[in-house]
Amino acid sequence: MEISQYGKDSILIKGKKEAVWFNPRKGDIDVTAGGVKVIIFRDAESNFLGFNNKSGVIIWGPGEYEVAGIEIWGARIGEGGVMYVLQFEGIKVGWLSTLEVEITDKKKEKISECDLLIVPGLGEIKDVWEKTKGLGESYLLITGLSMESQKKLLDLADREDLVPTEKLIISPENLPEVTEVVLLTAK
């Protein structure tokens, strides 16, 4: 499975056969070779691109879905936020649209099952780090960080040596035991 970041917070996850977009921008879908099966937005208004079902299955609300072997669970967090947990190709991926709300214990339990957790770098990076560390994920990807926030994150995670990479490649066989912070170079 290959994870790439486009712009500030658009994430593409390409599996062997299927692909999933979180918050794609105009033109992002065009860079995907093969078919995108799932496109996820925070809410219906975020689908400003006017994607239709020819582009893939569009999801923007809570519920349970299964598309082409990809299991998707979505729930509201706070008033305007949403979280999703996807299971495909033996990997669980969690995505949160916001961290500016308190996450219930039940939802934290769901997040703790994730191998990769993707969260926005909104607000103070120290607060983002405090809310996400120790949740149990193998990889933590925080999107939309300025260079200054990236440096602060690496200091908090005691990973000053980490450099951003173009993509993250993961498989069920190579998951780390301790959470690894990931910084992706936006395309």
What pLDDT does 79 receive?
79
Q: How confident is the model at residue 184 (pLDDT cuts 50, 70, 90)?
A: very high
CATH architecture of 2-182: 4-Layer Sandwich (3.60)
pLDDT 10s digits, 20-52: 988 887 777 666 655 667 877 766 555 555 555
Comparing C-alpha atoms, which of 75, 82, 73 is closest to residue 120?
Answer: 82
In the chain, DSSP assigns E strands to 2-6, 10-14, 19-22, 38-40, 57-59, 63-67, 70-77, 81-88, 91-96, 116-120, 139-143, 167-169, 180-182
Contacts of residue 111, Cβ cutoff 8 Å, sequence gap at least 6: 83, 85, 94, 96, 103, 117, 135, 136, 137
What pLDDT does 108 receive?
86
User: Rounded CA gap, 186 and 44, in Å?
Assistant: 25
pLDDT 10s digits, 116-129: 999 988 778 888 88
Helix, strand, or coil here: 9? coil
pLDDT 10s digits, 53-94: 555 787 888 899 998 889 999 998 877 788 999 998 999 999
What pLDDT does 155 receive?
92
User: Rounded CA gap, 64 and 84, in Å?
Assistant: 9
> What φ, ψ does residue 111 adopt, rounded to 5°?
-65, -35
Residue scoring higher pLDDT (4 or 79): 4
